[in-house]
């Protein structure tokens, strides 16, 4: 039974990782505007996502995030089981740690406090209006890396291989590829070839976390993960207990081999234990066992007063300083958010930076922000019309958002939701600047009654005066979908650009 616990845990880890990857693959347009599965389940069980939602303005999203509260309650009973058995980033570190090599460790015990200081800082900042959980949430990091980096690379490689086999047939291989491709294209490839602006940066962050394995096994989980710190606080008095508490005097096997460093000379630290149950297999005498019992007094987190006050003060000061900067749309008129996004301040407080909306966007319009939305908006979704457009009959981004940062919209609501308004630069637009007709923007405008119309007027071209159809935006009809900017044939910056003026999420805009 001792050995079977280890294999059972590995099987559960792989099953959970495969399940999350499957949900990720299902987060895709497959011909229908309604997703049949709860593809955002990974974040519905995420306590940090629930904490971010609780600290944001408005009511708590019970209907979406109640599973996260259930995970917290189970942690009080089972300990940090999520870290050892379910977390996809933890499973990835367990697997890739063997590839990159693991440090001999352990590092100084003081590093263990860092994750608690980080959690305190994030909670303090969130309480005062600055939500940064998504930057450090392991589940957001995992899914963000899949969305922005690995999935686009997979699509590029897969399409390249099938194209090469089609163009240069290989005996036996090409016929087999022809049979496989319909399945791969339907279920494993994206609706359009994805490409995102922060793909390299996102991958470098992921690589850095993996590289920390060279210092110590599960360095991220032990020392830096704020979700692990939250679970650690809940697990200190868990009902599932290790016996004996301290390592035996005649043996130190579990002391040396514990992956989480929870077994120490002073006793077992329940808040650090990942409940992997491997210590039963390490014990040569079979003395270690896990059993149910009454909660017992555990060792405290042992945070220094200076560190605690510094973390609190940093969060309390940074949040209001970030909050008194000018409104983003006053500094950046081309900042566009997805349709259904709540007001900007609340949006940044609710968005967990998971990338689900970017993954599911049909038109490839949503991309992660760098400094577009200010330094506090890193990795939040912005709509970039020159790269892609918001599909008129698509409501998927609101369906997958796990925290309500993007409200789910019906198709009728979507058609009336204004993201912004298109504006023409007459110095670069072909009809205005060259006196030549161009109908592209009007042809692609998707609104029932065209939001772009033409006025026939004379234009002076050299010594000749021509009657040319000049495009004009009908303000009351334009919703700012951006397809005119995407399809404009002028190279470089488009002469028709969508600004965030009049967006629906600003009901008090005097120009609306």
Reply yes or no on whether the pLDDT at 403 is more than 80. Answer: yes
Reply yes or no on whether the pLDDT at 507 is more than 80. Answer: no
Q: Is the peptide bond prior to 106 cis by the omega test (within 30 degrees of 0)? A: yes
Reply yes or no on whether the pLDDT at 509 is more than 60. Answer: no
Are 148 and 204 a contacting pair, CB within 8 Å? Answer: no
pLDDT (tens digit per residue) in 138-191: 999 999 999 999 999 999 999 999 999 989 888 888 899 999 999 999 889 998
Q: What is the pLDDT of residue 317?
A: 94
Q: Which of 107, 190, 153 is nearest to 364 (CA)?
A: 190
The C-alpha atoms of residue 370 and residue 137 are separated, in whole angstroms, by: 18
Reply yes or no on whether the pLDDT at 2 is more than 50. Answer: no
Distance, first Cα to last Cα, the chain: 68
pLDDT (tens digit per residue) in 28-87: 888 888 887 778 888 899 999 999 999 988 888 888 889 999 999 999 999 999 999 999
Please tell me whether residue 246 adopts helix, strand or coil conformation: coil
Mean pLDDT is lowest, of 252-256, 308-312, 410-414, for 252-256
Which CATH architecture fits 418-512? 2-Layer Sandwich (3.30)
Reply yes or no on whether the pLDDT at 93 is more than 90. Answer: yes
Six token digits for residue 374: 């200010």
- Give mean pLDDT, residues 223-235: 94
DSSP per-residue string spanning 41-90: HHHHT-HHHHHHHHHSSS---HHHHHHHHHHHHHHHHH-SHIIIII-HHH
List, in sequence order, every beta strand (DSSP E) within 202-296.
240-243, 263-264, 267-268, 289-292
pLDDT (tens digit per residue) in 353-383: 999 999 999 999 999 999 888 888 999 999 9
Place of tokens 């303005």: 57
Six token digits for residue 362: 């049909």
Q: What is the pLDDT of residue 358?
A: 95
Report in angstroms the alpha-carbon separations of 165 from 79, 160, 181, 191, 214: 51, 9, 11, 21, 39
Fill in the DSSP letter of residue 289. Answer: E
Beta partners for residue 496, in sequence order: 424
Mean pLDDT is lowest, of 60-69, 325-334, 398-407, for 325-334
Are 229 and 118 a contacting pair, CB within 8 Å? Answer: yes
Six token digits for residue 471: 């495009």
Q: What is the pLDDT of residue 325?
A: 78
**321: CB partners within 8 A, 6+ apart:** none
Break the chain into its structural domains and give their ranges: 2-28+36-146+201-292, 418-512
Radius of gyration of the chain (CA): 27
CB atoms within 10 A of CB 472: 13
Q: What is the pLDDT of residue 234?
A: 92
For the chain, give the mean pLDDT.
Answer: 89
Reply yes or no on whether the pLDDT at 108 is more than 90. Answer: no
Q: What is the pLDDT of residue 241?
A: 83
Please tell me whether residue 408 adopts helix, strand or coil conformation: coil
């Amino acid at each position: 039974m001792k050995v079977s616990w280890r294999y059972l845990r590995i099987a559960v880890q792989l099953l959970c990782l495969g399940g999350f990857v499957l949900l990720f693959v299902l987060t895709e347009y497959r011909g229908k505007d309604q997703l049949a599965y709860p593809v955002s389940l990974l974040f519905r069980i995420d306590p940090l996502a629930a904490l971010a939602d609780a600290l944001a303005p408005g009511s708590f999203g019970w209907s979406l995030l109640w599973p996260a509260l259930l995970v917290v309650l189970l942690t009080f009973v089972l300990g940090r089981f999520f870290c050892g058995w379910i977390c996809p980033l933890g499973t990835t570190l367990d697997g890739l740690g063997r590839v990159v090599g693991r440090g001999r460790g352990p590092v100084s015990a003081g590093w263990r406090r860092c994750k608690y200081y980080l959690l305190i800082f994030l909670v303090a900042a969130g309480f005062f209006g600055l939500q940064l959980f998504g930057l450090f949430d392991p589940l957001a990091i995992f899914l963000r890396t899949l969305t922005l980096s690995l999935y686009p690379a997979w699509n590029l490689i897969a399409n390249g291989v099938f194209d090469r086999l089609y163009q240069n047939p290989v005996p036996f291989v090409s016929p087999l590829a022809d049979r496989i491709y319909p399945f791969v294209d339907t279920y494993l490839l994206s609706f359009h070839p994805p490409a995102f602006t922060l793909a390299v940066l996102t991958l470098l962050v992921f690589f850095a976390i993996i590289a920390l394995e060279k210092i110590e096994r599960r360095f991220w989980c032990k020392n830096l993960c704020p979700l692990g710190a939250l679970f650690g606080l809940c697990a200190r008095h868990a009902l599932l207990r290790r016996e004996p508490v301290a390592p035996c005097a005649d043996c130190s096997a579990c002391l040396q081999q514990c992956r989480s460093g929870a077994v120490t000379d002073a006793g077992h630290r329940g808040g650090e234990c990942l409940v992997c149950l491997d210590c039963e297999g390490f014990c040569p005498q079979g003395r270690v066992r896990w059993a149910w019992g009454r909660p017992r007094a555990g060792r405290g987190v042992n945070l220094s007063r200076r560190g605690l006050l510094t973390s609190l003060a940093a969060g309390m000061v940074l949040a209001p300083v970030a909050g008194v900067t000018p409104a983003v749309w006053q500094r950046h008129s081309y900042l566009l958010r997805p349709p259904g996004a709540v007001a900007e301040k609340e949006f940044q407080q609710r968005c967990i930076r998971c990338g689900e909306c970017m993954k599911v966007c049909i038109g490839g319009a949503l991309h992660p922000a760098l400094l577009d939305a200010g330094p506090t908006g890193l990795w939040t979704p912005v709509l970039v019309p020159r790269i892609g457009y918001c599909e008129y009959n698509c409501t998927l981004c609101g369906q997958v958002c796990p925290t309500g940062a993007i409200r789910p919209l019906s198709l009728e609501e979507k058609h009336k939701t204004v993201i912004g308004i298109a504006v023409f630069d007459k110095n670069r637009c072909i009809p205005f600047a060259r006196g030549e007709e161009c109908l592209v923007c009007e042809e692609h405008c998707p609104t029932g009654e065209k939001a772009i119309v033409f006025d026939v007027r004379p234009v002076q071209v050299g010594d000749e005066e021509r009657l040319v159809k000049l495009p004009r935006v009908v303000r009351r009809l334009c919703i700012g979908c951006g397809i005119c900017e995407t399809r404009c044939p002028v190279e470089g910056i488009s002469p028709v650009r969508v600004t965030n003026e009049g967006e629906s999420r600003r009901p008090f805009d005097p120009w609306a």
